[in-house]
Structure 1
């Protein structure tokens, strides 16, 4: 068995197990980082040449070494507090026992604090932990350090999240303002069209009224010539003429019958809804109640549009390609990457295909180059996000 026999004996195994575990604190030399198993071993270590050299070094700059050990012990203690007990209070002994599990940890007798109580008081005075008196004794609660890199990183994430939410709110308000202005423009255009049709109707009514009065005057003149010189007939005729002037006005013909329905409409008739859906568009579903929100904020391709032009069948891009029927009020346009194909769905160039040239995120608008139609090749800028939608690539 040779050299392996002493290594595998029970005495050698027990010796290695004892050396691997933790020993008593007062038998540990912090300067030499050596743990002794008994008092005799510690005495022999103190008489060794290496220990004497280290003690001579300690005599030269002892305060500096003690301050270094104290800082290392405090940093280790605060690291455990930050990592394990960030939001709860804990007894100091629990954290200290976790530190002492490491074999080469900085011992308390190598620091400027003689006991754990003095160290806890130091943490309370420096504001790194809050001391709480409970029924179970003194507890520590971790306090965030504003100068710590982790705290600064988290604060940066909070500010970034807040700025993102503010940007979303501002964008939502801009969209509402654009929709309000668009509605006001549509109402103004309908009012002008109604006034024009009303003016045309009034002019035609006046012309018809004049022609009727001229016909009546012609008939009255003929009756006067036939009546002769007798005054009674003239008086009777004049009375009848006076009565004819008080006739009720003719009823006004409806605008749809007069102008074939092309100008003006009745007040009870509602304007048709604005339709922007068309086949081939890539849209985003915003219906939260559809299938318990399974399709919320997911994209799909418009495969067909119903006859009323406000409802479309959407083939979802994610999943198994389900086809759902959604109203256009629960859909949003999708802005692709620069250089991709889009379609203008509102405005002067509505229905024209184009290529996305640039995107102004601060103004929530895009610039496109028209690809077909009479304005082919022209550059159109300042189009809002909701006026442009991505086109699906041909399969």
Structure 2
């Protein structure tokens, strides 16, 4: 059996590429995407594909400020510059160097780049710099970062926390699967910046625990994924509540026509920057497709999972994930399941065990794995091939 090893050893898992290696990359540049797994026959359960196109990028009326090659050339607070040095961040990534001069000046931004291209600091530094020196009233944040998943919300919070502390800004993370009372308490105590998933933020607003009328800087991270996951009605309802004259930044790996609605409705004369083509081919990995009979798929999947190194396997449904995980455990493979049916503490613990090597195989649904950052990943397998052309 051919065993596929990626040439790069760091990736952010979102949705993987099609088994034959076609389609636009949605991993961190230049990190790998999923390698092909056992082919379609005898699958653990799949849904029909949907095909969408991208929209034309909007034209910028006001010329963009030139890109910078050094953080010191930006008008950021000294505390942020010092923290960049402490974190070992010496030079801006392309998307940071291109967008920060404009976002720091208050311009709306439309940025396209794969996960891992530096988007978090691109919007995070601008939001923190423009919010520094202000103090939020109880329940009234000044900055908002919307993300599609709990895991991504935590990663954004972890990435920005040292920078926020350096300028004395308070961050609150608002996601489902965790105590809503504790999150409401954090908002009541005052938080300048909220990192949130749309559903939980809506719940807190409906309870009267949060108001967005003072939000002056709003970020949509992974906007395409929020659209894919059905969050568009919630996202637009939330955006309608922030200050209409405020700044908006939208970052996405692809620009589907669903995202076009957000761009046309909420971005004003945005600076547009694309790190790479929407369908940029991933050349730093190998793709293999294994055509196996349905009766042989379980054995093939188990043999792949039992290889050396860390492996992620993707399936379409929670039931299929649980079933495969149990089969692998029964075969002596250190496997763990990750899907939306798990509580947030369970998901956090599973990810920690996978990252530390206590678990060697992570079996996950597509949705649950979006936005997860994993270093030193050896193999990604589509047990159920992806159904979306972007995947």
TM-score, normalised with respect to structure 2? 0.20
TM-score, normalised with respect to structure 1? 0.20
Higher Cα radius of gyration: 1
Q: Higher helix proportion, which one? A: 1
